[in-house]
Amino acid sequence: MNHRKIILLGQGSTALEFSEYLEDYAAMLCYDWKIVGYLMVEEEENRLENNYLNLGLASMHIPKADYTYLMVCDPSSQFEVLKQLKDLGAKFMRFVHQEAIISKDVQIGEGVLIGPHAYLQRGAIVGNFNLLEMFSVVSMFSKMGDFNYISPKVHLGIDCKIGNQNSIGINICIPKGRILGNHNLIPSREPMMLR
């Protein structure tokens, strides 16, 4: 489907970043995609107010059948509103940046966003409504549940299992075979400086 009217769910920095990717991608492939506006979610600064129409609070929105929705917020903290919109019939698109690398036999769920230079290795499974930022790696045969936020430069080792509603900060490496359950907040790690 090359004709879409898109409503963004979220208004923060991630929304601004992915709206630019989406517009570039549509122009490059001559797709008839139009971002109609955005729905506001809690706990995000408004980076879209000068770019798109504010359609109000996501929690008050009634989805419309002729619109496609793109989640551009932290899914781990916006779980309730995402679920509410989905239950009301919202159709969410997945978006994979053209500079991401997706290997064979990878499964990607509904509403997933994958940023530039992300790498999903063979046999990886990424559930619904996950956001993988730039330079993130999901190694071979790792499995992610739903509603996870993976920051830039996160590396999930081979055979890792990540549950639901986790938020993993910048520069974190989850070692091979680790199991990370649900509702974890792993803060960013400062990169080591070589002297």
Q: pLDDT of 105-163, one tens digit each?
A: 999 999 999 999 999 999 999 999 999 999 999 999 999 999 999 999 999 999 999 99
Question: What confidence category does residue 1 fall into, taking pLDDT thresholds of 50, 70 and 90?
Answer: very low
- The reply to whether 3-87 and 95-195 are identical in fold is no
pLDDT tens digits, 53-112: 999 999 999 999 999 999 999 999 999 999 999 999 999 999 999 999 999 999 999 999
Angle at 10 between CA 62 and CA 82, to 5 degrees: 50
Residue 18 has pLDDT above 90, yes or no: yes
Which CATH number does the domain 3-87 belong to among 3.30.1490, 3.30.60, 3.40.50, 1.10.3470? 3.40.50
Looking at residues 170-192, what average pLDDT do you find?
A: 90
Instruction: Tell whether the model's pLDDT for residue 46 goes beyond 60.
Output: yes
Q: Which of 79, 74, 75, 76 is nearest to 166 (CA)?
A: 76
DSSP letters for the chain: --EEEEEEE--SHHHHHHHHHHHHHHHHHT-EEEEEEEEE-TT---S-TTTSEEEEEGGG----TT-EEEE-S-TTTSHHHHHHHHHTTPPBPPEE-TT-EE-TT-EE-TT-EE-TT-EE-TT-EE-SS-EE-TT-EE-TT-EE-SS-EE-TT-EEPTT-EE-SS-EE-TT-EE-TT-EE-SS-EE---PPPPP-
pLDDT category at 192 given cuts 50, 70, 90 is low
Q: Domain coordinates of the chain in residue numbers?
A: 3-87, 95-195
Residue 189 has pLDDT above 90, yes or no: no
CATH number, domain 95-195: 2.160.10.10
Q: Flag whether pLDDT at 185 surpasses 90.
A: yes
In single-letter form, the type of residue at position 10 comes to G
- The phi, psi pair for 155, rounded to 5°, reads -125, 115
